[in-house]
Amino acid sequence: MKPADFTLSAGPTMCSSKTLAALGSPIVYHYDPAFIEAYRRTEQKVREVFRTKGDIVLMQGEAVLGLEAAGRAVVRPGMACLNLSSGVFGKGYGDWLRAWGATVHEIEVPFNEAVDPAQVERVLDEHPEIEVLAVVHSETPSGTLNPVAEIGPIAKRHGVVTIVDCVSSLGGMPFEPDTWQLDICVAGAQKCLAGPPGITMMSVSQDAWDLIAKNPAAPRYSFLSLLDWKIQWLDGGKFPFTPSVADVHGLEACCTEVLEEGLENSFARHARAARACREGVKAMGLSLWPRSEDIMSTCTTAVALPEGLTDLQVRAHVRERYGVMISGGQGAGNLVRIGHMGVTANTMYPVVGVAALGRALADLGVAVAIGDGVEAALAVLSEA
Ligand SMILES: *Cc1c(COP(=O)(O)O)cnc(C)c1O
């Protein structure tokens, strides 16, 4: 089977030709001075994308590796943690925290809503023993955004170290670890940066390193060890093991592109693609999945499916008949998602997504106003 003509998924998403070319660069020895130079350049570019003065750690695996490594580094058995759950990834982090032996307090909201910072403040006031807070910025499976800009300073005032999943927001929407006082932020390259899905980038604050230093359970000499990267690479200039050479080249290329474009321009581009997609979906007569537009993430549009249809059915039809790959809700609800991240947050991609979804639903017997949807999406894209 050939790959989809349009990968409008919620990540991994399409890579630019420059990034694809970089992924095909020669594989070199990891202590070749040329590779060390490329690695350091890549770290610097990732630092600029994160807009942080803190440490940058690249871990050689998909973003889930970074999310697990961050938690294992800070969490001791018996440690009181607050987990914010507004979707599949947030809920999953709570399960991890419990598996690592933490005492978990949880704020849970339905998967089409966002967490209220006032409630975070209340729980932290009531439980001064809490040391760590975990939150997902952009809950990709729900297409929603948590107010991390407000939650960060609340946690910091309570002396709480934050672990933030910004996998699908970095590079595509405002994200400011330093200004928002966030401690460990974990991103992936395969979402808004339109890079390869084999590497995870993390920003780590001094407060996070201080808490890790007090944790005898923090992994060492392990693929999961954040400390190995700190001690051996950041402080010692030796890799704990061979980095994923091709992925590092790919990551450098996609960071270069977004920095040359300008982060603010990239944010605006993602916001516009999201607006085009949302307006298109609504004009077709369909419903957006999140409770309200003010909590929507701009990397993907989650569309509630009409009664009687499943996401598998709809996605298979869109893929087979129209060559377009879209995503399901990964268990968040009966929904499909049109991604607009990186390359696909450009030009006509949102129109393709809207039209393909609309026509597929019509084929499956739903009354949808496809023309109205396409016109509404185009109206947004045609704004000067
Ligand atoms: C993509 C993504 C990850 C990485 O998880 P995968 O299931 O491996 O794709 C983690 N968190 C969020 C919010 C993501 O969007």
Give yes or no: residues 218 and 270 share one domain.
Answer: no
3-state secondary structure of 329: coil
Phi then psi dihedrals of residue 137, to 5 deg: -70, -70
Whether 223 is in a domain gets the answer yes
Give yes or no: residues 83 and 187 share one domain.
Answer: yes
Residue 384 pLDDT > 90: no
pLDDT, residue 209, reads: 98
pLDDT in tens, 200-236: 999 999 999 999 999 999 999 999 999 999 999 999 9
Joined tokens for residue 336: 């499909």
Query: By the 8 A CB rule, do 107 and 119 touch?
Result: yes
Ligand 1-lining residues (CB < 6 angstroms): 11, 62-64, 89, 136, 138, 140, 165, 167-168, 188, 191
Q: How far is the CA of 80 from the centre of ligand 1 (A)?
A: 25
What CATH code is carried by the domain that includes residue 136? 3.40.640.10
370-11-111-328 Cα dihedral, nearest 10 degrees: 50
The string of DSSP letters for 80-117 reads: EEEEEESSHHHHHHHHHHHHTT-EEEEEE--TTS---H
Give yes or no: residues 199 and 87 share one domain.
Answer: yes
Q: Whose CA is nearest to atom 2 of ligand 1?
A: 167
Q: How far is the CA of 193 from the centre of ligand 1 (A)?
A: 13
Give yes or no: residues 66 and 139 share one domain.
Answer: yes
From 225, 259, 293, the end of a domain falls on: 259
What CATH code is carried by the domain that includes residue 366? 3.90.1150.10
pLDDT in tens, 137-159: 999 999 999 999 999 999 999 99
Q: Whose CA is nearest to atom 7 of ligand 1?
A: 64
Give yes or no: residues 274 and 167 share one domain.
Answer: no
From 208, 237, 259, the end of a domain falls on: 259
Whether 1 is in a domain gets the answer no
pLDDT in tens, 6-53: 999 999 999 999 999 999 999 999 999 999 999 999 999 999 999 999
CA distances to 71, 97, 106, 273, 289 from 92, rounded to whole Å, are 12, 9, 12, 29, 20
pLDDT, residue 283, reads: 98
**Position in ligand 1 atom list of the atom nearest CA 136:** 13
Joined tokens for residue 359: 């026509």
The string of DSSP letters for 119-174 reads: HHHHHHHH-TTEEEEEEESEETTTTEE--HHHHHHHHHHTTPEEEEE-TTTTTTS-
Q: How far is the CA of 137 from the centre of ligand 1 (A)?
A: 11
Mean pLDDT of the chain: 97
Give yes or no: residues 359 and 252 share one domain.
Answer: no
Q: How far is the CA of 13 from the centre of ligand 1 (A)?
A: 12
What is the Cα–Cα distance from 308 to 27, expressed in whole angstroms? 50
Whether 247 is in a domain gets the answer yes
- Tell me the sheet residues that pair with 296: 144
Cα three-residue angle 178-179-180, rounded to 5 degrees: 90
What is the Cα–Cα distance from 349 to 270, expressed in whole angstroms? 11
Q: How far is the CA of 188 from the centre of ligand 1 (A)?
A: 8
Q: How far is the CA of 360 from the centre of ligand 1 (A)?
A: 27
Nearest in space to 146 (alpha carbons), one of 68, 91, 202, 215: 91
Q: How far is the CA of 105 from the centre of ligand 1 (A)?
A: 23
Whether 173 is in a domain gets the answer yes
Whether 279 is in a domain gets the answer yes
- Residue 288 has what DSSP assignment? E
Could you tell me the pTM of the whole model?
A: 0.98
Q: How far is the CA of 31 from the centre of ligand 1 (A)?
A: 31
3-state secondary structure of 303: strand
Residue 349 CA, chain-centre distance (Å), reads 20
**pLDDT-above-70 percentage for the chain:** 100
pLDDT, residue 247, reads: 98
pLDDT in tens, 4-19: 999 999 999 999 999 9
Give yes or no: residues 233 and 376 share one domain.
Answer: no
Give yes or no: residues 316 and 223 share one domain.
Answer: no
Rounded to an integer, the average pLDDT of 231-249 is: 97
Q: What's the chain's length in residues? A: 384
Pocket test for ligand 1, best of 13, 142, 168, 341 (most atoms within 8 A of CB): 168
**Position in ligand 1 atom list of the atom nearest CA 140:** 15
Give yes or no: residues 168 and 238 share one domain.
Answer: yes
Rounded to an integer, the average pLDDT of 85-101 is: 98
Joined tokens for residue 371: 């023309």
From 259, 293, 311, the end of a domain falls on: 259
pLDDT, residue 172, reads: 98
Give yes or no: residues 87 and 175 share one domain.
Answer: yes
Give yes or no: residues 287 and 151 share one domain.
Answer: no
Give yes or no: residues 331 and 211 share one domain.
Answer: no
Q: Whose CA is nearest to atom 11 of ligand 1?
A: 167
Residue 104 pLDDT > 90: yes
CA distances to 43, 44, 98, 247 from 240, rounded to whole Å, are 16, 19, 28, 17
Pocket test for ligand 1, best of 7, 13, 64, 88 (most atoms within 8 A of CB): 64
CA distances to 42, 238, 298, 349 from 31, rounded to whole Å, are 15, 9, 39, 41
**pLDDT-above-90 percentage for the chain:** 99
The string of DSSP letters for 196-257 reads: -TT-EEEEE-HHHHHHHHT-TTS--SSTT-HHHIIIIIITTS--SS---HHHHHHHHHHHHH
**Position in ligand 1 atom list of the atom nearest CA 191:** 1
* Domain interval for residue 167: 17-259
Whether 328 is in a domain gets the answer yes
Q: How many domains does the chain have?
A: 2
Helix (H) or strand (E) holding 187, with range, is strand 184-188
